[in-house]
Structure 1
């Protein structure tokens, strides 16, 4: 926790047409000291970290053992009686927040303190290690001059959230239920009504990615792609798996690499998939402009 990322790129979230929602992917009963992070709420959360240290978990319902990890964090945070806060980012519904936090792998646990974000771990921690982590966080907060007694923190209200558009809310609810077809339909309807809605575009791209990879055998797909390097469908699917696992550079590089010498039909398919993955990563991700430039060089 001594190698801080620094200040969160909040400016990236001030681009137009971003609607906010709750962190719908986190199941179970939220802690009374927990905040579901949204685009609107992130700036207030950063401001609050001047008074209260905040553990920020970026996760997804797709993360193995993710619910158990979240439950351990909730228990440990609750035990401190308000001395610190837990903030949960659902990477499936809050892609732009994850981009502003520069998330590369799920789950990622961060510490937000005095307006600065610091990486802790990019994996699930065993339950027995969580209490030790909390002790370290509180000791660091104490060294930074923060009140770690929890006094007065109980009345601190969570950031208020504006209501989201009904179709976006419908899409989030469908994702929570695992009904990806309904989520796609809701996002598509939202885009038919407001074509410039950035959140709907990103949401549609992400849910489409989830739907393409739903129920597949990842090992079998990767093995097939390795044995059939010219099989476009196999390469597209492996790129999807890379993206889903947070390996953004691998996903982009795989598809860009197949553009060299490809026929027009293949180039069109690769271009379309790359544009979808750019939406998933979000415009704030620094890897997107570089990949866009490479794509343009191959196409023109």
Structure 2
């Protein structure tokens, strides 16, 4: 923004804008709120912007407010035609128009997308880099069936990052695997709204629902004998597959659910297929094992 030919007041406004907005944008994502005192919609949007900016402060997001009445020259440079107008700036460049994002959910979604695309380094990103290998270790231990150690890892991570969705998900799934269903249920109920709907948490919620619908069975032999005696008894097959799943034998459980689906896909309102889909959610939809089982399911349904 060149200052040649400007009045002293305009130069002062430009310098203030550089100091308050452009310079912070060199390392942070600056949300610029163009507003005015007389603007009712501006006053309605302001608390939402302030709440979201505060929630994302540790991720390198800051809020800058520009009163268009007091900064008419700045507003004219950005060709502000109506207010509220909300832009996002990074490294001195406008990177998004947030004007139509009027709800907290819409703003969070857009900011999340920007943070994934831009090289912004806030405290949260630094913590994320530190947590990522530890979370991966906890997931690996949990996947290997060492429940006690996995729970210990996620408990320690929970102390470090009590609001991190992946940490919360891992800890809740470890509690489920340990049979502590009431504690897992309480942990889910205590989650703040903005975290409760995250995909990681849905995975944990599915794990609890699956465990509650398929309680552990001490001795699988009677169920195996019932299936062997009458392979057409689909309820016996479902009971065995559920028990195998509860015991952590996902391969055998998947084989059972797929066999039932192949024999009668609509039996019991598709119960076997529904259990298999819940198992996919618990394991993780990006897991290679899930991809392989999905191909098997597709071959049955559409082959």
User: Which TM-score band (shorter chain)?
Assistant: 0.3 to 0.5
Larger Rg: 2
TM-score, structure 1 length as denominator? 0.42
Give me the TM-score of the superposition, normalised by structure 2: 0.41
Which is richer in helix?
Answer: 2
